[in-house]
Amino acid sequence: VEAVKMSFADQTQFTPLVVCELAEDTKEEAVEWLLSRIKEKQRNGGDRLLPALSQDDKKENPNIFLVGASWQRLLIGAEDLGLIKEFSDGSMRTFTYANREDFKDFQGDGDGFLSMAECQLIIKHELDTLRAKQETYVPGYPKIKLYPGKSIVRRMHSKGILLQIFPLHDKEELKRLSSTWYQQIRMAFQPLDDIRRYFGESLALYFGFLEYFTLAMLPMAIIGIPYYFFDWENYDNYVVFAICNLIWTTVMLEMWKRFGACLAYSWGTLSRKKAFEEPRPGFHGVLGHNPVTGREEPVYPNAKRHLRIYLVSLPFVLLCLYVSLCVMMVYFDAEGWVLGLHDVEPTFWTGLLLFLPSIVYAVVIEIMNRLYRYAAEFLTDWENHRLESTYQNHLTLKVLVFNFLNCFASLFYIAFVMQDMPLLRQSLATLLITSQILNQFLEAFLPFWLQKRRNKRVQRNESQTALGSKLPFEKQVMLEADMSTYLGTFDDYLELFLLFGYVSLFSCVYPIAALLVVLNNVTEIYSDALKICQVFKRPFSEPAANIGVWQLAFESMSIIAVVTNCALIGMSPQVKSYFPESESQLILLVVAVEHVFLVLKFILAFVIPDIPKHIQIKLARVEFESMEALKKKVNEGNSSSFWKSLKLHITVPGQERWC
């Protein structure tokens, strides 16, 4: 970075933060217009723009721009974003530019006060909120319409003019982070605070949850080992194990909320208010006034959105679920038919045929998952949510339900319709192990290997022109622009969620699952860290106070787990043998036990506070002070309105009729 500062000597102390890539054939006037709009902000202390990066190299895209900003501008942006930083008295307060000196770690002109990830987030926010004013179309592209309030960057992005915006890596810091994080294998917690400084809260919370989840699974894994080795066949001996598992799951999820709240508080995201979030870039509507802040921004009626959700999205999701169930039934029919065929007249070809239904089913499920994902994204986008977080929640919920059904429907069918426990255990083991291996391979090592190959090729080309172990800055930007984009923590959470399902739903059938998941998670931490540091473009930091809809998803899973485990225990032959005469008595007992467990879960969730007491007090204190401040402000308002009312009294006799 220091080198770059030198090479662009005309721009003193310019640190490039974000890369903005336009299509190669973008019309000159559109480029000029976009640059002028960004520079317009600069005039009001706005971002600074670097001109096109590598004009000399004909092969490269000339329309790559680097965006940076002065420290002062970034600090004002931090105030606009409502970042919360540690105050000099140790409390967490909303950052204000005027008050910057009173924040902890603020020194000199503020260099180093904001992390690079925060600076990049601020610039992204500035770019995202570049909105069209009087322009009716993008200059040079009369077909790309604009209307007042439309985000320029978003429109140009969706029309393919703007290819991508991404934050730059900081090679020095990345190296430091990698070495403490994943480059040596040792017994230590992850450097969550460093991860958060480099990648933002959302990712740091994911890694925090992954670590917490792994550690929390450890007791179950250890208890599960003897059960696995000594009692394989009598799975009703697992009653105690299952009960421990159920209670532990509940307590674990409740405690995570508290732990996550501690993390989010120390990162300043716990008390960030949702209502003050800017609308997400994709949000469109007529330019109006936000009823809360009074600021100008697009508005979209809530009723319309609800209509779209309940009349279009919901029926569509239900239809997809139904189709998925039908496909599953066809698969079981096909398998039964093939099995029958093979039993009647076993030949080599029927032996091969035995594998066909499973393979076809796996492929069909994969295709359905992908198609559904596109449809869900389209629908959620079309629902036009105001906030990025609500958009993500709706998308997650849609995808989650479908994935849950696809993954577990066949297991449920085997367990409760076919009642074939050995087959259930076998399917569970197969699914768990193959999905783990496949996931880690497809998700981290394959992209890493591809990336390595690409890097080497680039480096080889490079070494022909200039010898040196360090890539020049321009090449580094090009290299990063070529990397694939990290699409958010969604798939990582989904994977954890499904693993959690395998462990909790059928724990009394397959107690070794917890151990497998722990082993998987340990490698997952390393492979995910590798993936995020080396394989993908650096993602923008995302402020997050909790794991959002995933908390709900995991809790729902743990509730379903109570039902399935109780049912499995009730179905075991040995438990059945205690009630030889009356099956209905057994069922009633199982249902009663299940209800007791559910009540217990709710009482536990009610009794354990979500936010630890000491943080509750700190939050209440800031709120109390803000209330006192409001009173004071109103008082000041009053004194001025006192003068106003006085004036009015004086002017009343003559001008009464004009008011």
Q: What is the C-alpha end-to-end distance of the chain, expressed in Å?
A: 62
Name which position in 577, 626, 651, 655 contacts a second copy (CB under 8 A): 626
Kindly state the smallest distance separating residue 505's Cβ from a second copy, in Å. 15
We find the least distance from the C-beta atom of residue 502 to a second copy, in angstroms, to be 22
Report residue 552 as tokens: 């709900």
Amino acid at 584: S
> Exactly one of 426, 641, 651, 655 binds a second copy (CB under 8 A); which one?
641
Cα–Cα distance measured from residue 49 to residue 39, given in angstroms and rounded to the nearest whole number: 7
User: Considering only 99-107, 204-212, 443-451, 535-543, which stretch makes contact with a second copy by CB under 8 A?
Assistant: 99-107
262-291: contacts with a second copy (CB under 8 A): 273, 275-276, 291
576 contributes a contact to a second copy by CB under 8 A: no
Task: For residues 585 and 591, give the distance between their C-alpha atoms in angstroms, rounded to a whole number.
Answer: 10
HSE on the CB side for 582, CA within 13 Å? 6
Least CB distance from residue 403 to a second copy, whole Å? Answer: 19
Q: Considering the complex, state which of residue 236 and residue 594 has its C-beta at the smaller distance from a second copy.
A: 594
Task: Check residue 584 for interaction with a second copy (CB under 8 A).
Answer: yes
- Strand partners of residue 287: 298
Residue whose token pair is 């109103």: 634
CB of 293 to a second copy, least distance (A): 6
Give the shortest CB-425-to-a second copy separation in angstroms: 23
Which one, 450 or 627, has the nearer CB to a second copy? 627
Question: Which of 11, 96, 158, 393 touches a second copy (CB under 8 A)?
Answer: 96
List the one residue from 229, 343, 635, 657 that touches a second copy (CB under 8 A): 635
> Measured from the CB of residue 590, what is the shortest distance to a second copy in angstroms?
9
Q: Is the dihedral of CA 343, 349, 355, 357 positive or negative?
A: negative
Which range, of 164-172, 241-249, 324-332, 580-588, touches a second copy by CB under 8 A? 580-588
CB of 627 to a second copy, least distance (A): 6
Residue 502: which H helix or E strand, with range?
A: helix 490-505
Site mask, a second copy, residues 287-326, x = CB under 8 A?
----xxxx-------x------------------------
Token digits of residue 44: 């009001």
Question: Which pair of structure tokens corresponds to residue 364?
Answer: 């069909």
Contacts of 408 (CB under 8 A, 6+ apart): 501, 505
User: Exposed e or buried b for every residue in 511-543, given b needs 16+ CB within 10 A?
Assistant: bbbbbbbbebbeebbebbbbbbbbbbbbbbbbb
Q: Binding residues for a second copy, how many (CB under 8 A)?
A: 47
**Cβ closer to a second copy: 51 or 637?**
637
DSSP letter at 275 equals G
645 binds a second copy (CB under 8 A): yes
The reply to whether 37 sits near a second copy by the rule CB under 8 A is: no
Residue number, 292 or 359, with CB nearest to a second copy: 292
Residue 16: left (phi > 0), alpha (psi -120 to 50), or beta?
A: beta
Is residue 102 a contact residue for a second copy (CB under 8 A)?
yes
CB 562 to a second copy: min, Å: 11
105 binds a second copy (CB under 8 A): no
Is there binding between residue 587 and a second copy (CB under 8 A)? Answer: yes
Report which DSSP code applies to 131. Answer: B
Please identify which residue in 329, 352, 438, 627 interacts with a second copy, judged by CB under 8 A.
627
Does 652 sit near a second copy (CB under 8 A)? no
Residue 563 in the binding site for a second copy (CB under 8 A): yes
Site for a second copy in 65-84 (CB under 8 A): 79
Closest among 435, 379, 405 to 322, alpha carbons compared: 405
Residues 6+ apart with CB under 8 A from 221: 514, 515, 517, 518
Euclidean distance between CA atoms 355 and 341, whole angstroms: 13
Report the DSSP beta bridge partners of residue 448. Answer: none
**Does residue 337 interact with a second copy by CB under 8 A?**
no
> CA–CA separation, 160 vs 156, rounded Å?
6
Beta bridge partners, 66, equal 19, 50
Q: Are 438 and 366 in contact (CB under 8 A)?
A: no
Candidates 50-58, 92-100, 184-192, 235-243 — which segment interacts with a second copy by CB under 8 A? 92-100
Q: Which of 583, 610, 647, 652 forms a contact with a second copy (CB under 8 A)?
A: 583
Long-range contacts (CB closer than 8 Å, 24 or more residues apart) made by 421-430? 421/235, 421/509, 421/571, 421/572, 424/506, 424/509, 425/235, 425/509, 425/510, 428/502, 428/506, 428/509, 428/510, 428/513, 429/510
The reply to whether 42 sits near a second copy by the rule CB under 8 A is: no
- Does 352 participate in binding a second copy (rule CB under 8 A)? no
Q: Cβ of residue 453: shortest distance to a second copy, in angstroms?
A: 48
For a second copy, the closer CB: 29 or 102: 102
Nearer to a second copy, 302 or 469 (CB): 302
C-alpha of 218 from chain center = 25
Among 48, 73, 93, 386, binds a second copy (CB under 8 A): 93
Which of residues 326 and 630 has its CB atom nearest to a second copy in the complex? 630
The distance of closest approach from Cβ of residue 376 to a second copy in the complex, given in angstroms and rounded to an integer, is 19
Binding of a second copy at residue 52 (CB under 8 A)?
no
What are 275's strand-pairing partners?
none
107 binds a second copy (CB under 8 A): no
Task: Kindly provide the b/e burial profile for residues 464-485, where b requires at least 16 CB atoms within 10 angstroms of the residue's own CB.
Answer: eeeeeeebbbbbbbbbbbebee
* Residue numbers 605-624 binding a second copy by CB under 8 A: 613, 617, 620-624
Binding status of residue 634 toward a second copy by CB under 8 A: yes
d(CA 262, CA 4) in angstroms, rounded, equals 38
Q: For a second copy, which residue of 59, 143, 186, 631 counts as binding (CB under 8 A)?
A: 631
Residue with tokens 């409390």: 91
Binding residues for a second copy (CB under 8 A)? 79, 93-94, 96, 98-99, 101-102, 273, 275-276, 291-294, 302, 563, 583-584, 587-588, 591, 595, 613, 617, 620-635, 637-639, 641-642, 645
